[in-house]
Structure 1
Amino acid sequence: MTSQVGSVPRRRFLGLGGAGAAAVVLGTGVLGGESANAFTLRKDNPFTLGVASGDPSSDGFVLWTRLAPEPFAADGKGGMPDRSVRVEYEVARDERFRQVVRRGAAVATPELGHSVHPEIHGLAPDREYFYRFRAGGEISPVGRTRTFPVAAANPRELDFAFASCQAWQDGYYTAYDHMAAEDLDLVVHLGDYIYEYEIKNNNKRGVTVPEQFGTETFDLARYRLQYSLYKAEAPLQKAHARFPFIHTLDDHEVVNDWAKDTVLMGRNPNPDPAAFARRKAAAFQAFYENLPLRRAQLPSGPHIRVHRRLAYGRLADITMIDTRGSRDIQACSYGNGTGRTKACQERFDTDRTILGADQKRWLLDGLSSSRARWQILGNQVPMLETDWDPGTGKDVWVDPWDGYVADRNEILAAVQERDVRNLVVITGDRHQNYAADLKRDFDDPDSPTVASEFVGTSITSGGDGADVDALGQTFLAANPHMKFYNAQRGYVRVNVNRERWLGEFRVLPYVTRPNAPISTRAAFVVEDRRPGVQSA
C-alpha cells in the first residue's frame, strides 16, 4: 500500500555510495546533470501531483514525478523557477527503504515542465518494489510498482484493470479509490486522460473553479494546467502510486475527434495546418510531461510514438496501438454534427486506414510471431460494429473502426489465417461497457468469430450514467455479436490465466457526488482457443 514517509529520517535518504552509484540524468534519462541545482523550497510541497511508475519490463520500469509546488499557477509552470533542479530517487525492496537497490538523481528542467522520467534497469523479475523522490528538501509519497516476469517464464496468471475517459468536470474520481484497493499487477489507461474543454462553475461536481481553467486548451501552458487539475485528484494519485500504468492517448488529449493532421468535426473544424501542428506539439509534450512514459515516447514536435509491445512472460503480450496519429479523415457525412452515417460506401474503401501502413504491418507481424498464450490489444475506439439501426440498414459511427472497415477486416482475417491465439481487444472511448464477439466480416451473417472485445466505460465522462438506456436497447437489438451493454461509470477488472480470461465490469451508481460504492455488474469469460465471449 502507499504511504507517507515523514517518519523516515532524511539523513538516511540517498546516502550516495551505499547501494550502488548514483546516476544523474535529465528527466528524459539522456544527458548529464552538471547544471542542475538544488533549490530552496519556499512553499510546502513540490509533489502536489503525486508519483507514478509505468511500462514495466522484466528488469525495471520508468518512474515519474513532476515538481509543482503551485500546481494551478496560471502560467502552467507549477510555481517552479526557470532553472534545472536535481531530483533524487530511491528504489527499494521494502516500503521502509531498509533494502535500497537503486539510488540516483534526475534533472527536472523547465523545458519539460520540471518532470522526471528515470528508467530503472537491472532489477529482479516478477517482484514488487517501492520508490520515492526528494527535491527541495522534501520527500515524496512512496509509490509501489513491480517488474514483469522474464520472457521465457510461464506465469500462472495476470491481474489488471483498464480505464479511460475521465472528464474532471463530469464527476468525482471515486472509481480510482476502489481500483487502488484491488489486488492488481498493473493498470492500462486507454486514453482521454484529460479533456481539452474549458472548465467553468457549471460543472457537474457543482464546485467553483479558478478562472484560469475557463478557456479551452490550445497552448503548452494551458495543457499543463489542465493536467495539473486532473492529477491533483487524490484518488487518481492513489491508483498511480499503487500500480504501474501503461498509457496510450485518444482524441481529447489534443482535441475532440482529431485525425492525423486535421479536425473535421467539433468546435474547431479544419484548423490551419501550421496552427494545428503547434497545438499537437503542445498537447503531446504535456502528455509526456505528466505521465510515466519512457524516452521512446518523448515527442518530436507534432509527432509521438505510442504504439509498443510489452511481454508478460509467455502468458500475455500487451500491444498498445495508436488509432489517431496516422488515420485518414473520417468518412462521408461525419461533418454533419452527428458522427454517424447511413449508406456510406467510403468507409469500405480499401485505401482508407485507421492505423497507417507502417503501424499495421508492425501489428500484424507482432501478432503472427508472438509465442504468448494471450494477445491483449490496447485500443482506443471500438473495433466491433455498433449499428444504430435494428432493421435491415446500417447506421454507424465512422470515427471508430466502423469508418475504416478495410483495416478491421484485414486485421481480423489475419488473426484467423495466421492462427493468432486468443486475441482480446480492450477498448475505451465510448463511456459504455460492452462484451462482444469480433467477426471476421460484420457484413457476412455467417462470418466466424475470430476474437473478443471488452469495451470499458468512463471513469466520469458523461456523468452518472444508467444501466441499460435507450441506446443500449437499440444496440443489443441491432448487434447480435454484442453480448452485454451497460452505461454506468467505472472500470474493467481482468484476471487472465492459462485456461481462460475473466473480465468483470465494475460500476458505480453515481459520480456527481463523492463516495459512491462499487459492484460487479456482469462478468464474461473467454476460453483458451475459443474466440468469443461467454457469460461467467
Structure 2
Amino acid sequence: MTGDATAGPSRPLRSLFAGAASTPQGRPHRRAVLLGGLGLGGAAAAAVGLAACGGSGGPTPIPGPTLRAPTPVPGVTDGVFALGVASGDPLPDGVILWTRLAPRPSEGGGMPSRDVPVDWQIAADENFRSVVRAGTQTAQAAFAHSVHVDVRGLEPGREYFYRFRAGTVLSPVGRTRTAAAPQADAAAAGGALTLALASCQDFQNGYWPAFDAIAADAPDLVVHVGDYIYEYDPDSRFPDRVHTTPQQPGLDQLQTLADYRNRYGQYKADPALQAAHHAAPWVVTWDDHEVENNYAGLVDEAGDSGDRHQDPAVFARQRAAAYQAYYEHMPIRVELNPGSPDLRIYRRLAFGGLLTLNVMDTRQYRTPVPGNSPEAVGPAALGAGNIGGTMAGAAQERWLRAGLDASRTRWNVIAQQTMMAQLDGQLPVGSGSMLTNLDQNDGYRPYRRRLLSGVRDSRARNPVVLSGDLHCAWVNDLRVDFDRPETPAVATEFVCTSISSAFFLINDDFVRENNARLNPHVRYFRGDRRGYTRIRVTPTEWRADMRVVADLSRRDSPVTTDATWVVEDGVPGARPA
C-alpha cells in the first residue's frame, strides 16, 4: 500500500462511532468498534443509514441496488450480531465482508431454521455519508446464517467502513482497507504496509489483551497463522472462560458440526477479538487445533499408546465438519463444498509492488508425522530420514515455487503454521540424544530443504517466513542446510508468540542453553510471555516489534514491546534495531 497506508485513523478508532458495545459484564469495551455510526439505534439507524446510498466526500458514490425498507423479521431481534463483523482477503478492488446472525452463539446460534436476507453497506467515511457499494445477501440456515460478501469495484489502497442490517437491527461497524494497485511503485513516497502477526488463542488459558492492542494499532492487515480455536474439553481456572461442552465430553475433542459451531461462537463473542476484527482486514489460515491436535491429512492424533487412530473415513467426516465451521466463521475467499473433507485455502495476495503474501496450508495435505509419537517429540534422525514426507503436498509445493519465480515485488512473504527453522535439543543439555519436535518442519527435513532451496533458486527478493504454533516468539535466520552455519541465510523467519496459549516450559533457560550450543541461527527467543508481532514494511526495511502481555489474568493488561528486529532490503537475516 502506498501513501498514508500506515497512518491509520487520525484519532482512536473507538471515537469514530456513536454507541458503545459492551463486555459480557455490561461495561463499555475500551477498544470496541461501536454500533451505528450515525448516533441512532435500532430501526431508526437502519432506516436512515441504509436508505442512503450517496453523499459528499471521498470517491464518487456508486449506486448499489435499491435497498428494501427496514422490515422486522420474526426471530431477528437485538443481539443478532453478537459475533460482530469482519473483513478479509483484501484485493486492490475488493474485500470479503463477513458476519453471522447468532443471538445465542454458543448454544446453536439461536436463529430460526430459515434463511434471512441481510443488507450490507460499504462507505468511504465512518459516518456512511459516502456509500460506494451496497446490496442484500441471504444468510442461509444451512451455513449457520453466516454471510460472505465479496465486494468489488472499490479503489485500491484506501480505507473503507462497512456494516450490515438484519430486519431492523444494525450491526457494529468495521474498518477495512483494500490492497495497493498492482502497478503501485514499492518505492513511492511513504509506501508502507503495517501488519499484525497472531496465532494460538486458547480461550481457557486467559484473556486477550493482545487483541485489544492490535485493535489500537489499527494495522493495514492482520495475518493469523492458525489455532483460532482449541478443541479441548471444558477446564479453566477462569469461570467465564470455560469451554463449551461438546456432544461427547470426555474425548477432549470436538467431533460434530454443532460442536465446532458452538466453540467458534464462544471464541468470536469475545469483545477483544471482535475489536481486532473490526479494526482491520484479516488474512487467515488454519493449523491443527481448528480440527484436532497434531493431525496430518486424514490421520488424526495418535492415542496415548501412539497407535490408536480413528478410521480415516470417520476422521474425514470430523474434518469436513471442522472445515465447514471454519468457513462459516472466517472472512475468507474460498469455495466450500458442504460435507467434503477438502477445502483449498492456500492462496496468494499482492500489495502493489511492495509485498506478495503466500498463504500456505500445511495440515490438509501433509503426510503423517514420522515415528507416530503422541507427543510428536522424537529423535531428530526421524525427520532427517523422512524422504517422502511433505507438509504442503506436491501441488502446493509447485504452486509456491511458481509464485516465487514469477514475483517482482520488493518483499516475498510465506505465511505458514509451524516453525521452519531447525530446533534441535538434548535432554539433558550436552547429552548425546538429539531430539526435536517432529510435528514442526523438523519432522520433514527433506521437504524443508526443498522449500528453502526453491526460495534461494527463485531469486525472489527479500523472502520472509511468518510462523506460529510454538507459543513463544522467535527470530531466525533460515538456511538450506542448518548443519552448516557458515552458509548464507536465504530468508528470515518471524515466529509470533501465542495470544494466550501456554508455553510448555516454565522457564526459558533450557531453550536458551540448547540454542547456544545447537541452534546458532536463532537470533531471538522468548517463551514466558504471550502477545503478537507488530510489523511495518517499507521499501527499505522490515521492522518487527515483539509485543508482550504483562498478565493474561487481566483483560486490561498492559502490552509492551520487548524487542525490535529489522531486515534490510537486499540483506537476508535479521539484526536488532
Distance 1:512 1:171 in 2: 6
Who is 2:228 aligned against?
A: 193
**Which of the two has greater strand per residue?**
1
Distance in 1, matches of 2:241 and 2:572, equals 49
Find the counterpart in structure 2 of residue 339 from structure 1.
Answer: 376
Identity of aligned residues (%): 41
Aligned counterpart in structure 1 of residue 519 of structure 2, from 479, 492, 512: 479
Provide the residue aligned with 1:415 in structure 2: 455
**Following TM superposition, by how much is the alpha carbon of 1:269 offset from its aligned partner in structure 2, in angstroms?**
4.2
2:51 is equivalent to residue 10 of structure 1: no
Q: Distance in 1 between matches of 2:493 and 2:420?
A: 8
Aligned in 2, Cα 1:435/1:17: closer, same or farther, shift over 3 Å? closer
Contact kept? 1:347, 1:398, Cα under 8 Å: no
Distance in 2 (CA, whole Å) between partners of 1:533 and 1:297 is 39
Give, as a single letter, the amino acid of the residue that structure 2 aligns with 1:161: A
Aligned pairs (5 A) from 1:268-347: 269-296=308-335, 301-332=340-371, 334-335=372-373, 337-342=374-379, 344-345=381-382, 347=384
Q: Tell me, yes or no, if the aligned pair for 2:218 and 2:279 is still in contact at 8 Å.
A: no
Counterpart of 1:532 in 2: which secondary structure? coil
Are positions 1:446 and 2:486 aligned together?
A: yes
Distance 1:354 1:208 in 2: 33
Task: Identify if the C-alpha distance between structure 1 residues 23 and 469 changes in structure 2 by more than 3 Å, giving closer, same or farther.
Answer: farther
In the alignment, does 2:148 pair up with 1:107?
no
SS in 2 for 1:212: coil
Aligned residue number for residue 155 of structure 2: 124
Separation in 1, partners of 2:280, 2:184: 21
Match 2:391 to one of 354, 374, 392: 354
Give a deviation string over 1:406-458, Cα, whole Å, max 9, x none: 11111111222232211110101000000010011113343321111001110
Q: Specify which of 503, 520, 524 is matched with residue 561 of structure 2.
A: 520
CA distance in 1, matches of 2:551, 2:517: 26
Residues 1:361 and 1:137: Cα distance change in structure 2 (over 3 Å): same
d(CA) in 2 for partners of 1:206 and 1:472?
Answer: 35
Judge conservation of contact 1:463–1:512 (CA < 8 Å) in 2: no
Assess, with a 3 A threshold, how the Cα gap between structure 1 residues 266 and 204 changes in structure 2: closer, same or farther: farther
Alignment of 1:225-244 (within 5 A): 225-244=262-281
Q: Name whichever of 307-316 and 149-158 sits farther off.
A: 149-158
Which whole-Å deviations, capped at 9, do the CAs of 1:4-52 have from their partners, x for residues lacking one? 116243322333876523299xxxxxxxx9xxx9622464310000100
Q: Could you tell me whether the CA contact under 8 Å between 1:52 and 1:65 is conserved in 2? A: yes
Partner SS, residue 223 of structure 2: strand
Residue 175 (structure 1) aligned with residue 206 (structure 2): no
The match for 1:90 among 100, 121, 137 is 121
Correspondence 1:377-526 to 2 at 5 A = 377-389=414-426, 391=430, 394-462=434-502, 468-487=508-527, 488-526=529-567
Question: CA separation in 2, counterparts of 1:99 and 1:491?
Answer: 34
| C-alpha deviation, 1:299, in angstroms | 6.2
* Counterparts in 2 of 1:179 and 1:123: CA distance versus 1, 3 Å: same
> In 2, Cα distance between the equivalents of 1:464 and 1:340?
13
The RMSD of aligned alpha carbons is: 2.3
Contact 1:149 1:313 in 2 (8 A): yes
**Structure-2 change in CA distance of 1:465 and 1:12 (3 Å):** farther
Q: CA deviation at 1:529?
A: 1.4
Q: Give distance in 2, aligned partners of 1:453 and 1:302.
A: 31
2:197·2:224 contact (CA, 8 Å) conserved in 1? yes
Identify if the C-alpha distance between structure 1 residues 465 and 458 changes in structure 2 by more than 3 Å, giving closer, same or farther: farther
CA contact 1:160–1:495 (8 Å) conserved in 2: yes
Q: Output one character per residue of 1:61-113: Cα deviation in whole Å (capped at 9) or x when no partner.
A: 0000000011222xx2x110111000000011111111011110110111100
CA distance in 1, matches of 2:466, 2:303: 26
| TM value normalised by structure 2 | 0.85
Taking a change above 3 Å as real, the CA distance of residues 467 and 313 of structure 1, as seen in their structure-2 partners, is: farther
**More displaced, 83-92 or 41-50?**
41-50
Structure 2 counterpart of 1:147, from 167, 178, 197: 178
Partner deviation per Cα, 1:324-344 (whole Å, 9 max, x = no partner): 111110012x42x43222252
Pair 1:490–1:23, CA change in 2 (3 A): farther
Aligned length: 518
- Residue identity opposite 1:413 in structure 2: S
**Contact 2:424/2:435, CA 8 A, preserved across alignment:** yes
Distance 2:226 2:185 in 1: 30
Is the Cα contact below 8 Å between 2:380 and 2:438 reproduced in 1? no
CA distance in 2, matches of 1:240, 1:102: 20
Conservation of the 8 A alpha-carbon contact between 2:380 and 2:424? no
Relative to 1, partners in 2 of residues 1:42 and 1:304: Cα closer, same or farther, differing over 3 Å?
Answer: closer
Matches within 5 A, 1:62-77: 62-73=96-107, 76=108
Deviation at 1:206, TM superposition (A): 4.1
Alpha-carbon distance between aligned partners in 1 of 2:221 and 2:363, rounded to the nearest angstrom? 24
The DSSP-based 3-state class of the residue aligned with 2:493 is strand
Find the aligned partners of 1:237 and 1:517 in 2 and give their Cα distance.
19
Which runs of 5 or more structure 1 residues have no equivalent in the other structure? 25-32
1:405 alignment partner, SS class: helix
Match in the other structure for 1:29 = none
Gaps of 5+ in 2: 1-12, 14-32, 55-61
Compared with structure 1, are the counterparts of its residues 465 and 59 closer, same or farther at alpha carbon in structure 2 (3 Å cutoff)? farther
Offset of 1:468 from its aligned partner? 3.4
Equivalent pair of 1:464/1:489 in contact (CA under 8 Å): no
Structure 1 match to 2:20:
none
- Separation (CA, whole Å) in 2 of partners of 1:161 and 1:3: 21
Q: Give the partner amino acid of 2:166.
A: A
Q: Report the equivalent of 1:30.
A: none
